[in-house]
Structure 1
């Protein structure tokens, strides 16, 4: 088993590392950033426990070919980090989308994501 990564210095640093990994070939390594009892909720799904990060990725896979976030602002308070902005990308049917609003709320304890709540307007935009 590989050694655990060194905990990042702040909750926001953990969240930014999560975003970086989601945007490149390290996407499959995001589980390293989550606590074993993490909970992930997003429109249409809820995952919990050690398999939550993998189940989250599997849920996203059929929805879109790729997506990227444009950050508007960050809000930070203790263990909570909120990211607000818009999504753009291409859905699995090959249709482009942009300007989809999102709000992600993270709880980070002891350098690990314990809760991730995602809200976005993908369904409103027809990306299901």
Structure 2
């Protein structure tokens, strides 16, 4: 993607750095390394409401949906609230569909709750389903 902004992970606070490093590992994909950033009882709610308890779940789903996919991480926002420390990662997905068609500019929002240096909850949203429907001539 020609418009990729580089985020220097060294400038991130500790919770955002954990999320950044998790996302980097998940994009390899290396679910086992990604799991080192997550609590043993993590709850991952993926697109479409799919629930997983290990990064291998989303990695497996992504393997079915994309030939490959990466994140252009644009921003990390950290807030402290009732759930603890919440980190939002926003940006764009880019990659290739299984039919060989490249894509970019697919918005994503990932919401994480970080406690004691580990991700305990992750929620994932993106525009992939809408793009799949649009490619089939169906406007959602």
Class of the TM-score when normalised by the shorter of the 2 chains: 0.7 to 0.9
**Match for residue 45 of structure 2?**
41
The reply to whether residue 20 of structure 1 matches residue 20 of structure 2 is no
Between 1:21-30 and 1:106-115, the stretch displaced more is 21-30
SS at match of 1:72: strand
Displacement, 1:95? 1.3
Cα 1:54–1:29, aligned 2, differ >3 Å: closer, same or farther? same
**Match for residue 117 of structure 2?**
111
In structure 1, list runs of 5 or more residues that go unmatched: 1-8
**Match for residue 93 of structure 1?**
99
**Match for residue 65 of structure 2?**
63
Q: Extract structure 1 runs of 4+ deviating beyond 6 A.
A: none
Give the conservation status (yes or no) of the 8 Å contact 2:31–2:56: no
Displacement, 1:103? 0.6
Structure with higher Rg: it is 2
Give the conservation status (yes or no) of the 8 Å contact 2:47–2:125: yes
Quote the Cα distance in structure 1 between the aligned partners of 2:30 and 2:55: 13
**Match for residue 4 of structure 1?**
none
SS at match of 2:75: strand
Displacement, 1:26? 3.6
Aligned residue pair count? 117
**Match for residue 36 of structure 2?**
32
In structure 2, list runs of 5 or more residues that go unmatched: 1-12, 134-140
Point out which structure has higher relative CO (alpha carbons under 8 A, 6+ apart): 1
